[in-house]
Amino acid sequence: MIDYPRHQFFRVALSVRGTVVPRVAPRVLIVAVIALAACGWNALAPESLAFKPLAHSLVGIAMGMLLVFRTNASYDRWWEARKQWGGMVNASRNLVRIMTVHAGDGRRAAALCSAWSLALVHHLRGERHPEQTRELLGPEAASRSYDQPNVPAAIGAELSRNIALALGQGRLAPDLARLAEGLVMELLDHQGACERILNTPLPFAYVTAVRQLLLVYLFSLPMVLVGELGWWSIPAAVFIAYGLLAIEEAGIEIEDPFGTDPNDLPLDAICATIAQDCAAMAAGPSSPAPRSAL
């Protein structure tokens, strides 16, 4: 995700890196070519392309509403994913805090939480899990987890085993063990929410209808403008085409927030935060609480 200077209007407005300009430029160029052809035809046969703008305007209003809804739906997915990952950070910190302070050793929980977040990122991206995840898990846990179709869920089971071990050894009070297990369940609930976002794109029929309507509107736009604007219809069509196509493309980019595009969520940085905070907590002073802690 790009961290931009929010208060520098012109610097942001004139940026190209991280924007949708490179992707929409070919489509805008097609509209410009159609507008040029319409202007040439109109010069040869004046008024032959002077279409009435009423129907076109009505279609434009409907299309604008559809684009707004489409962009809002994509942003809702992006923001929902960000909230889920924020919940993962909080649950990981709380779990390691409990294991460090009340069970006397949170290092294993910290390593498992870090491994779980890394595994989830690569699971959502459909990538191979890195060697770093295996190192955090250890040979035995890695052999159990990597044999499963859902590696993050398997690492969640390893977290539960760690809690059960502390409970069985008398290092963790039963009430605290239930609380810690609830945090593991919370982590897996966040994982399920991310998988839901990933595996449920916007309905195909809706996306197709928006794009079909957008193409018809933009390709016919020069014929509507040429009668009133003449050769000025070329820059006018380009300007309108860029605005509409850029809005639609921005919605496409943030629809899947788990990838590596410039505007996707900074998942690698979030994983680094989880690893850093959990390791720092686990390295701090620890003192097992008595079994009657709660």
- Give the per-residue pLDDT at 23: 85
Measured N-to-C along each axis, helices 53-101 and 233-255 cross at an angle, to the nearest 10 degrees, of 30
Q: Can you tell me the distance from the alpha carbon of 48 to that of 70, in angstroms, rounded to the nearest whole number?
A: 36
**Cβ contact 267:94 at 8 Å:** no
pLDDT for res 88: 96
Identify the pLDDT of residue 118: 94
- Domain-by-domain residue ranges, the chain? 31-282
Q: What SS3 string covers the chain?
A: CCCCCCCCHHHHHCCCCCCCHHHHHHHHHHHHHHHHHHHHHHHHCCCCCCCCHHHHHHHHHHHHHHHHHHHHHHHHHHHHHHHHHHHHHHHHHHHHHHHHHCCCCCHHHHHHHHHHHHHHHHHHHCCCCCHHHHHHHCHHHHHHHCCCCCHHHHHHHHHHHHHHHHHHCCCCCHHHHHHHHHHHHHHHHHHHHHHHHHHCCCCHHHHHHHHHHHHHHHHHHHHHHHHHHHHHHHHHHHHHHHHHHHHHHHHHHHHCCCCCCCCCCCHHHHHHHHHHHHHHHHCCCCCCCCCCCC
Specify the pLDDT at position 54: 73
Q: Residue 1: its pLDDT value, please?
A: 66
Predicted confidence at residue 2, as pLDDT, reads 67
Per-residue pLDDT for the chain (294 aa), expressed as one digit of tens each?
666 666 667 676 767 777 778 888 899 999 999 888 888 887 777 766 666 777 777 888 888 888 888 889 999 999 999 999 999 999 999 999 999 999 988 899 999 999 999 999 999 999 888 788 888 888 888 888 888 889 999 999 999 999 999 999 999 999 999 999 999 999 999 999 999 999 998 888 888 888 888 888 888 888 888 877 888 888 999 999 998 898 888 888 888 899 888 888 999 999 999 999 999 999 876 555 444 333
Which among 285, 290, 280, 294 is positioned nearest to 93, based on CA atoms? 280
